[in-house]
Amino acid sequence: MRAQIGTLIVATSAIQLANGFFTTLISLRVAAAKFNATSAGLILSSYFAGFTLGALRSAGIIERVGHIRAYAVFAGSVVAATAAMPILTGPNSWVILRAIVGFGCAGVFVTTESWLNAKAQPSERGRVFSNYMVGTFVALAAGQLLIGRIEIEGSEPFHVIEALFALALVMVSTTRAEPPLVTATEKPAYRALARATPLAVIGCVVNGVVASSFYALVPAWMQGKGADRETIALLMLMAVLGGLAFQVPVGWLSDRFDRRIVLVALGLGVAAAAGAIVFLPRSLTFLMLPAALLGGFISTLYPVCVAIAHDCMPADRVVAVSGLLLLVSGLGSVVGPLIGTSIMASSGIDGVLYFMAGAAGFLALVATMSRLLIAAPPHLRRTFEILAPQAASLAHDPLAFSGDIPPDPVRVTSG
C-alpha cells in the first residue's frame, strides 16, 4: 500500500514540476509576444478560470468513469493542450488552451487527493499528506530552475511539460493500487459559507488576487527590464522556498493564538514586502530576501483562512468547505492578472505591487475588525495544515454535504 501511495505522490510531484515551470514560462512568453494588456491578462487568467471550473466539475467525472480513467482524461487533456500551444500561437487560442490546462490540472489534483484520502490509513493520513505537500513545494521550486536551463523561445519547453505529464499518466495508469469507491455528494451552499465565515471567504479571494498577480506578472516585468532567465528563475525560486519555509512556523502560531491576529500579521507582511520591492534597488541581491518573505506571507494566507473557516464548521463538512474556499480563491486568481496587466500597462510593476499591498492591507483591516467585534472560536475541529490553492484538499470526501452551513457559532461582544 505504501508503494502504491508513493507512486501517486511521485506522479503528482512530476506534474507540479511541470506546473512550476509552465507558470513562469507562460508569463515570459506572453511578455515576449507583446500582446496587448487585455489579451495578456486573459491568457494569464485563463488557467485559473479553467482550474476553478475543473474543481467544480471533476468530481462528477470521477463519479462517472472512476479514478484511473478520470486521471487519464485530465492528464491527457493537459498533454494535448500543451502540444497545441506552439502550433496555435494566437492570443485567443492560448486563452482556450491555458484554460484546458487549468481544468486538467484541477482534475488531476482532485483525483489524486481523493484517492490518497480514501486509501491512507487514518493513523497515517497526516504523514501521507505532509509528504504530498512537501513534494509539491519542492517540485514547484525545482520547476523554476528549468527556466534557466531550457531555451524558452521555441517548442522545446512545451515538449518537456508534455513529457512530465505523460510520465505521471503512465505511472498512475500502470499502478496496481485499487482505486477507491466513488460516492455522489450534494453541492455545498456558497451563501451559507459566506454568512458563516465571511473573513475566510474574503481572505481566500485576496489570496487568489495577490498570488496570481505576483506569480503571473513579476517574471514578465523582470524580462522586460532585461533580466536574464537565470536571475528570473532564482528570484521565483526564492519566493517558492519562502512559501515552504513559512508553513511550519505560521502553522505553530496559528494553532496557539487567535488565527485572526495571525491573519492580520500576514496581511501586513504582504503589504510591507511588496512595498519594500517598490523602494529597494532592482537587483537580485536586494530583491531575494523580500521575494522570499513575500512568497512566505502569500503562501500562508490561504491555509490560515481555511483553518479559520474550519473552526466554525461541523467536522463532517470539512472537505466540502475546503472545496468551496478553493473555488473562491480560484475566482480571485482569475481577477488578479486581469487587473494587474492593466495596472502594469499604465503604472509599471510598482502599480501592481501597490495593488497587492492595498489588497493585503484591506484583508488585515477586515481581520482586525473581526478580532475587535467577534469572539474567537475555539480551535477544536481542525488544526492548521500545509495547503496551497493549487494543491489543496480539492477532493470531495465520501462524507455527504447536506443542507446549509450553520451560522457562525461565535458571539458578538458588547464593546
Q: Is 14 inside a domain boundary? A: yes
Residue 86 lies in a domain: yes
Residue 264 lies in a domain: yes
Residue 183 lies in a domain: yes
Query: Phi, psi (5° rounding) for residue 374?
Result: -125, 135
Total domain count, the chain: 1
Residues 171-210 as b/e (b if ≥16 CB within 10 A, e otherwise) read bbeebebebbebeebeebbeeebeebbebbbbbbbbbbbb
Q: Phi then psi for 412, rounded to 5 degrees? A: -85, 130
**pLDDT tens column, 293-340:** 999 999 889 888 888 887 776 655 655 676 678 788 888 999 999 999
Which position has the grid cell 492560448?
94
Q: Is residue 399's pLDDT more than 50? A: no
What mean pLDDT comes out for the span 97-117?
86
pLDDT at 31 over 90: no
Q: Is residue 247 part of a domain?
A: yes
d(C-alpha 12, C-alpha 109), whole Å: 8
Residues 6+ apart with CB under 8 A from 337: 40, 41, 44, 45, 48, 212, 213, 216, 217
- Grid cell for residue 319: 472537505
Report if residue 359 sits inside a domain.
yes
Inside any domain, residue 382: no
Residue 268 grid cell: 501586513
Q: What gap in Å lies between CA 76 and CA 78, rounded to an integer? A: 5
Of all residues in the chain, the percent with pLDDT exceeding 70 is: 79
State which amino acid sits at residue 324. Answer: L
Average pLDDT over residues 240-267: 87
Among candidates 373, 232, 231, 244, which has minimal Cα distance to 297?
A: 244
| 109 within some domain | yes
DSSP state, 409? -
Task: Give residue for cell 500551444.
Answer: 85
Q: What is the pLDDT of residues 117-155, one digit of tens each?
A: 666 665 566 566 667 777 888 888 888 888 878 888 888
- Calpha distance 413→415 (Å, rounded): 6
> What pairs with residue 365 in β-bridges?
none
Q: Which three cell numbers stand for residue 255?
A: 494553532
Distance CA 196, CA 204 (A): 14
Name the residue range of residue 137's domain.
2-373
84: CATH: 1.20.1250.20
List the grid coordinates of 3: 508503494
Which pTM does this prediction carry? 0.79
